[in-house]
């Protein structure tokens, strides 16, 4: 089946026409950015027919649709990915060559849309890719932030945040859809009025401010199947053309406030990963995109159906963490106030339509809103929550008479706060974690009471990644090599990559693998030379940790290890030491001081080590500025060692670990998150595992039995490294520069214990594991075998598998056949 008409000559003509019409220029005169725009519009032309066909088909078949509700979609660049999905990448590359244009240069012109922080946002993007490729009807619903994740600049070793104006040149892939605009209301009060006709009370919100939500649609192209789903992100505008209700007519002051609200609400993405800032504007963002998304979903449903009581048969709302949990009371509000359902009818629909994914057990990430703030901002929605809570607490007391501790832990409203996780659980028919160990911790500990009360809701969906972006696009050399040995099927059926297994021991195949890895290391070395002005040796071991900066992810432990190895090498200049390049990358939330100090430390350690002639370049330390999806693709392809060293129990899943694995890097990690399942798949002998187990950490935390000073006093090398943090060695003599992070390891601070993330306790075994990696690497053939086995066993970690499980076990969607 041919899913699209692509003709190279026509495409070339369209590009030239676009340049003429958009810029009044010829191809020769056009800038690379102008060519990027012209090419992208030409690609959109190619996509648009399939987009329309897909949507028509979904309506015709009256298919059930999943709405993936997420504050974040970290899509990364669209152009290259769409060309791959359309299977015209090579032809377009040829066409461009014939026009004397380098497609890579053009791809690099595209701003990397960064509408997300880290794993949670990137997961949402991988899910959309898999949904379209597997042929399931889906909408991603999110926010069109004017400014995405900030750009990171490193100045004097420190992180500087620069606004990310990703829309400056316009976004050729989006389509503005003003015909689907919706009004979203904030504040005011609720007036109750008896309705003679319905014999019920009406609840009318008055004195509110409102904004107009305008959707922008972006195509999500399935791989080689003609399917195009939609990512719908909402922009906000002032309501000028909505009617102010009579009460407000002529209220000039309010009109100005509404303008401000519209401007600020979608202004910027909150740059926190695994951390709640608790700002009122954030709650406004949440309600804004949820209300608009639910309104369109219901409107779409009503176009084809008359019984709103059956909504859940055609619609499912998946909540990506608790950020969209206001969907539960908002759906209740719409069903009761606007659609006239009774409470019980509305509750049935809501609890059959909503499902919730938990992505963290970090307590500082748990969303809670003060009741006064919440009820002031969303008075009618708050009333819904009150009633949901009242009925639920009644149910708790019925099930556990006399046990008020159950109420204390499970109530939605408690201690003057709205607890969003509790709201999400109560309002959903499914609650899932994102890796086996994480789901188990939820069931046995964090959400134990809920699990005991409603075990049928709980399930696991181990995360995955799309091999189309993270192997095919990121690593074309390795992708072609895989295809040579296993055929093309892996592109849409990753488990067949296991057909590589018989080749793992084959010397020729191993050599090819090592050579591809080498070429990718050369590619990254070139990037590092250009961006960091550091020479790194592609023959050295590329040992990589790239991810958001967070204490629980322990980049600090990693750089302490580098300091340790450097001391060792200084003291034993003639020791055997395989040259190593330690590569770091990741952003710290703008207000996260300790994380920023760690970035500073990494850069300063690099400055000292990289310029020390004594060690003859055998250690290099590189901090890659502005880690994001586009440079991540270069980094995964070039990695030898994948650092996955979070404190056991803290990383819900991790997905970077999977991106490294599929690119033939070997994991050095703790038994945490999806690492556990990587070990299961690859085999214990093909990864390097160290450190406390989750249960040990949990026991320490329960009993307060951990004393980091034990380790500090017992281990002179560790002591030396820690002392170097405050003797000015890495801070031009400034003994206070790193005092705070130093003290965080050794000194208790109020409620916060010393070394909360068990860095000292895990240090020794980390060093040992790290040395084992080095000796493994020396045996090149054995190393190649291990890496190839990792690739061969990566089949489970495709987001296609994850999505298939969501579809089968939660969403119950039917595949579209175009």
In residues, how long is the chain?
A: 818
3-class DSSP state for residue 727? coil
Task: Using the minimum distance from each CB to ligand NTF, give the nearer residue, 138 or 420.
Answer: 420
Task: Using the minimum distance from each CB to ligand NTF, give the nearer residue, 210 or 322.
Answer: 322
**785 classed as catalytic:** no
Detail the DSSP E strand segments found in 268-380.
315-320, 354-357, 368-370
Min dist CB 323 to ligand NTF, Å, is 8
3-class DSSP state for residue 460? strand
Q: How many CB atoms lie within 10 A of CB 176?
A: 13
Alpha-carbon span 213 to 291, nearest angstrom:
9
Task: Using the minimum distance from each CB to ligand NTF, give the nearer residue, 72 or 174.
Answer: 72
Min dist CB 680 to ligand NTF, Å, is 17
Closest CA to 104 of 125, 121, 83: 83
**438 classed as catalytic:** no
Min dist CB 653 to ligand NTF, Å, is 4
Alpha-carbon span 676 to 693, nearest angstrom:
11
Please answer whether residues 769 and 666 qualify as being in contact, where contact means their C-beta atoms are separated by less than 8 angstroms: no
Min dist CB 269 to ligand NTF, Å, is 13
Burial class (CB in 10 A: 0-12, 13-18, 19+), 422: buried
Alpha-carbon span 115 to 117, nearest angstrom:
7
**508 classed as catalytic:** no
Task: Using the minimum distance from each CB to ligand NTF, give the nearer residue, 96 or 434.
Answer: 434
Annotated catalytic residue within 406, 659, 742, 785: 659
Task: Using the minimum distance from each CB to ligand NTF, give the nearer residue, 133 or 360.
Answer: 360
Task: Using the minimum distance from each CB to ligand NTF, give the nearer residue, 463 or 492.
Answer: 463
Closest CA to 183 of 122, 105, 261, 124: 261
Min dist CB 441 to ligand NTF, Å, is 12
Alpha-carbon span 231 to 140, nearest angstrom:
4
Annotated catalytic residue within 553, 618, 742, 793: 553
Task: Using the minimum distance from each CB to ligand NTF, give the nearer residue, 275 or 473.
Answer: 275
**720 classed as catalytic:** no
Burial class (CB in 10 A: 0-12, 13-18, 19+), 440: middle
**553 classed as catalytic:** yes
Min dist CB 591 to ligand NTF, Å, is 16
Closest CA to 757 of 673, 710, 691: 691
Task: Using the minimum distance from each CB to ligand NTF, give the nearer residue, 133 or 653.
Answer: 653
Task: Using the minimum distance from each CB to ligand NTF, give the nearer residue, 365 or 454.
Answer: 365
Chain centroid to CA 473: 19
First-to-final CA distance of the chain? 10
Rounded (10°) CA dihedral 786, 792, 798, 802: -100
Task: Using the minimum distance from each CB to ligand NTF, give the nearer residue, 766 or 797.
Answer: 797
Annotated catalytic residue within 77, 151, 182, 359: 359
Chain positions contacting ligand NTF, by CB under 6 A:
118-120, 123, 273-274, 321, 359-360, 365, 434, 463, 651-655, 673
**Consecutive H or E run containing 542:** strand 541-546
Structure tokens belonging to residue 40: 């992208």
Alpha-carbon span 642 to 661, nearest angstrom:
8
Return the sign of the alpha-carbon dihedral for residues 262, 263, 264, 266.
positive
Annotated catalytic residue within 12, 284, 469, 548: 548
Return the sign of the alpha-carbon dihedral for residues 319, 320, 326, 330.
negative
Min dist CB 274 to ligand NTF, Å, is 4
Alpha-carbon span 788 to 791, nearest angstrom:
5
- Residue 640: CB partners within 8 Å, gap ≥ 6? 517, 541, 542, 543, 544, 665, 666, 777, 787
Min dist CB 733 to ligand NTF, Å, is 37
Closest CA to 587 of 269, 258, 187: 269
Annotated catalytic residue within 655, 670, 786, 802: 655
Min dist CB 362 to ligand NTF, Å, is 6
Min dist CB 674 to ligand NTF, Å, is 7
CA angle 274, 276, 277 (to 5 degrees): 135
Min dist CB 532 to ligand NTF, Å, is 27
**Consecutive H or E run containing 343:** helix 343-353
Annotated catalytic residue within 64, 547, 587, 793: 547
**20 classed as catalytic:** no
Please answer whether residues 713 and 746 qualify as being in contact, where contact means their C-beta atoms are separated by less than 8 angstroms: no
Which residues are the active-site residues?
359, 547-548, 553, 655, 659
């Amino acid at each position: 089946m041919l899913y699209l008409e692509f003709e190279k000559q026509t495409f070339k003509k369209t590009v030239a026409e676009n340049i003429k019409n958009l810029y009044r220029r010829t191809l020769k005169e056009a800038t690379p950015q102008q060519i990027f725009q012209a090419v992208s519009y030409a690609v959109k032309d190619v996509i648009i027919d399939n987009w329309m066909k897909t949507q028509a088909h979904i309506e015709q078949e009256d298919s059930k649709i999943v709405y993936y509700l997420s504050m974040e979609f970290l899509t990364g660049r669209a152009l290259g990915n769409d060309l791959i999905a359309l299977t015209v990448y090579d032809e377009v590359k040829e066409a461009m060559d014939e026009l004397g244009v380098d497609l890579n240069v053009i791809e690099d012109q595209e701003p990397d849309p960064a509408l997300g922080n880290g794993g949670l946002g990137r997961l949402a993007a991988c899910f959309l890719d898999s949904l379209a490729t597997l042929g399931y009807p889906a909408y991603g619903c999110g926010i069109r932030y004017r400014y995405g994740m900030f750009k990171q600049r490193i100045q004097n070793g420190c992180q500087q945040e620069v606004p990310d104006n990703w829309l400056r040149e316009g976004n050729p892939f989006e389509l503005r859809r003003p015909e689907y605009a919706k009004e979203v209301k904030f504040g005011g009060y609720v007036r109750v009025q008896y309705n003679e006709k319905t014999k019920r009370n009406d609840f009318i919100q008055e004195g509110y401010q409102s904004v107009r939500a305008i959707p922008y649609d972006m195509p999500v192209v399935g791989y080689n199947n003609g399917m195009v789903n939609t990512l719908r992100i909402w922009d906000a505008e002032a309501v000028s053309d909505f009617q102010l209700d009579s009460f407000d007519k002529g209220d000039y002051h309010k009109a100005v406030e509404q303008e401000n609200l519209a401007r600020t609400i979608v202004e910027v993405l909150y740059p926190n990963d695994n951390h709640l800032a608790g700002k009122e504007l954030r709650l406004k963002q949440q309600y804004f995109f949820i209300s608009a998304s639910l309104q369109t979903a219901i409107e779409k449903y009503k176009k084809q159906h008359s019984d709103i009581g059956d909504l859940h048969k055609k619609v499912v709302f998946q909540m990506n963490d608790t950020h969209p949990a206001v969907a539960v009371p908002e759906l209740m509000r719409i069903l009761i106030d606007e659609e006239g359902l009774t409470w019980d009818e509305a509750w049935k629909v809501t609890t059959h339509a909503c499902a919730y994914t938990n992505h963290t057990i970090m307590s500082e990430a748990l969303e809670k809103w003060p009741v006064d703030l919440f009820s002031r901002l969303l008075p009618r929605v708050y009333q819904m929550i009150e009633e949901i809570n009242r009925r639920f607490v009644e149910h708790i007391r019925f099930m556990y008479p006399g046990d008020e501790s159950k109420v204390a832990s499970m109530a939605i409203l408690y201690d003057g706060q709205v607890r969003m996780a509790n709201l999400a659980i109560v309002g959903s028919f499914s609650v899932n974690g994102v890796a086996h160990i994480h789901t188990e911790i939820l069931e046995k500990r964090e959400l134990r009471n809920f699990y005991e009360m409603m075990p049928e809701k709980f399930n696991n969906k181990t995360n995955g990644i799309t091999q189309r972006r993270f192997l095919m696009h990121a690593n074309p050399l390795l992708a072609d090599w895989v295809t040579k040995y296993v055929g093309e099927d892996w592109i849409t059926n990753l488990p067949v990559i296991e057909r590589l297994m018989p080749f793992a021991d084959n010397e020729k195949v191993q050599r090819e693998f090592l050579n591809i890895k080498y070429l990718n290391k050369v590619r990254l070395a070139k990037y590092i030379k250009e961006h960091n002005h550091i020479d790194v040796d592609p023959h050295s071991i590329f040992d990589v940790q790239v991810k958001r900066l967070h204490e629980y992810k322990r980049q600090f432990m990693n750089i302490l290890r580098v300091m340790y190895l450097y001391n060792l090498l200084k003291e034993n200049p003639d020791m055997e030491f395989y040259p190593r390049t330690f590569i770091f990358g990741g952003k710290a939330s703008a207000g996260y001081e300790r994380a920023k100090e760690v970035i500073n430390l990494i850069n300063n350690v690099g400055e000292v080590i990289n310029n020390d002639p004594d060690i003859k370049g055998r250690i290099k330390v590189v901090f890659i500025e502005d880690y994001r999806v586009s440079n991540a693709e270069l980094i995964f392809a070039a990695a030898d060692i994948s650092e996955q060293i979070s404190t056991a129990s803290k990383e819900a899943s991790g997905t970077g670990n999977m991106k490294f694995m599929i690119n033939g890097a070997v994991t050095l990690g703790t038994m945490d998150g999806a690492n556990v399942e990587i070990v299961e798949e690859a085999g214990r002998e093909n990864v390097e595992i160290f450190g406390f187990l989750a249960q040990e950490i949990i026991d320490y935390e329960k009993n307060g039995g951990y004393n980091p000073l034990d380790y500090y006093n017992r281990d002179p090398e560790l002591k030396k490294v820690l002392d170097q943090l405050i003797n000015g060695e890495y801070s031009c003599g400034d003994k206070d520069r790193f005092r705070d992070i130093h003290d965080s390891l050794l000194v208790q601070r109020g409620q916060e214990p010393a070394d909360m993330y068990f860095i000292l306790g895990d240090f020794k075994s980390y060093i040992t594991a790290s040395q084992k990696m080095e000796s493994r690497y020396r045996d090149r053939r054995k190393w190649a075998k291990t890496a190839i086995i990792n690739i061969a066993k990566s089949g489970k970690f495709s987001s296609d598998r994850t999505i298939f499980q969501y579809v089968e076990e939660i969403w119950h969607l039917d595949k579209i056949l175009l």
